Amino acid sequence: MATATTAVAAVRHLIVTQRRRAPGDDEDALFERFRRREVRLDDGTVLQPTDVVPGGKFIWFYRLPAPERAVPGTLRLLYRDEHILVADKPPFMSTLPRGQHITQTAVVRARRQFGIDDLSPVHRLDRLTRGVLLFTVHRGSRAAYQQLFERRMVSKTYEAVTPVPTGWQGTDFSLPGGSLTVPAGALHFASPEQVLDVPGEEHPWELSHFLVKERGRLATYIQPGTPNSITRVTGVRFSSSGDRLVWTLKPATGKTHQLRVNMRLFAAPIVNDPIYSVVSDDALYNPDAELPYVPSVDEEDFDRPMGLTARELAFTDPYTGESRRFISSYGN
């Protein structure tokens, strides 16, 4: 709020200007919030409709959820014990409630599907990414598993399906001694075009960049600076159809859109990526560059999932000391 106004006027304005408004969020619902003492200031002060609130103050109230588009698919159970539950998350499903996604999220759907009210994800997968997601079964176990991720003691492997970069057609990736031309900027900021041996577990390519994701900006962009994003490419092969590539990627960090930007820098954006398949080269580096139109959630085609799978999760269990390794059931 820029100037002083009444609490009811401020809340009314916030409700009617929502992009997605619940049909029943009318005047009666507005005043019901005040009757239930649910409109408050930062310090907990309960507001009445006629209270004058000065500019610059934050007002807290409950937003009524708008109808959500149902996300197809269910979470596929991979493993469960007394501490954890591991499932395959389908694409188009957010991990946690955010924005217009509340009930159509992995945590809410998993609690209902598996009947565990305390189920909580230990990490996040991008909404468009499918694959292995780790939950804790009860609150007491959460900290131990969360620390594994915070200390980077979890090995994460992804598979990305992309078009074949120019000049790579006809390459036999299984033969020793093969080489590939890597585009300028793909390995790190301002890296030159160069020829490298085909990547493998023993000789991976390391992609290191400084990535910036600003709130409200659709795409992540790249800047010079100390890398905060590291991905190792440990394999490249043709898909079963022979017209696409499947990349094996092992991120050492977890920046927003990290793997999607990595693939775009090879001029091989992940199949059906709604942002980086169409974003310009300029917008990859310039935060002021124009961004393309991207279909809204309501316009998404569920028959065209993005080709990124969280293939494998591996770690040493903090309770048993056993080596854990979970592999997604999704194919490429």
Dump pLDDT digits (tens) for 268-319.
Answer: 999 999 999 999 999 999 999 999 888 888 889 999 999 999 999 999 999 9
- The confidence score (pLDDT) of residue 139 equals 93
295 or 9: which leads in pLDDT: 9
- The confidence score (pLDDT) of residue 2 equals 59
Mean pLDDT of the region 223-247: 96
Domains of the chain: 5-60 (no CATH), 76-151+317-323 (3.30.2350.10), 158-294 (no CATH)
Q: Is the dihedral of CA 3, 9, 10, 13 positive or negative?
A: negative
For residues 32, 36, 42, 48, the Cα torsion angle rounded to the nearest 10 degrees is: 70
- The confidence score (pLDDT) of residue 69 equals 87
65, pLDDT greater than 80 = no
Cβ neighbour number for residue 185 with a 10 Å cutoff: 18
Give dist(CA 57, CA 39) in Å, integer: 13
Residues with Cβ within 8 Å of residue 133, at least 6 apart in sequence: 75, 86, 87, 88, 89, 95, 106, 121, 123, 125, 310
- Residue at 139: amino acid letter: R
- The confidence score (pLDDT) of residue 103 equals 85
> Of the candidates 15, 19, 16, 18, which has an alpha carbon nearest to the alpha carbon of residue 33?
15
> Of the candidates 107, 99, 243, which has an alpha carbon nearest to the alpha carbon of residue 162?
243
Pairing of strands 52-53, 5-6: antiparallel
1 or 99: which leads in pLDDT: 99
Mean pLDDT of the region 112-128: 96
Whole-prediction pTM: 0.85
Mean pLDDT of the region 249-272: 97
**Cβ atoms 234, 248 nearer than 8 A:** yes
Per-residue pLDDT reduced to its tens digit, 36-51:
999 999 899 999 999 9
21, pLDDT greater than 70 = yes
- The confidence score (pLDDT) of residue 234 equals 97
Per-residue pLDDT reduced to its tens digit, 166-179:
999 888 888 777 89
Residue 258 phi/psi, 5-degree rounding, is -55, -55
1, pLDDT greater than 50 = no
40, burial (CB in 10 Å: exposed 0-12, middle 13-18, buried 19+): middle
> Of the candidates 56, 43, 42, 44, which has an alpha carbon nearest to the alpha carbon of residue 10?
56
97, pLDDT greater than 90 = no
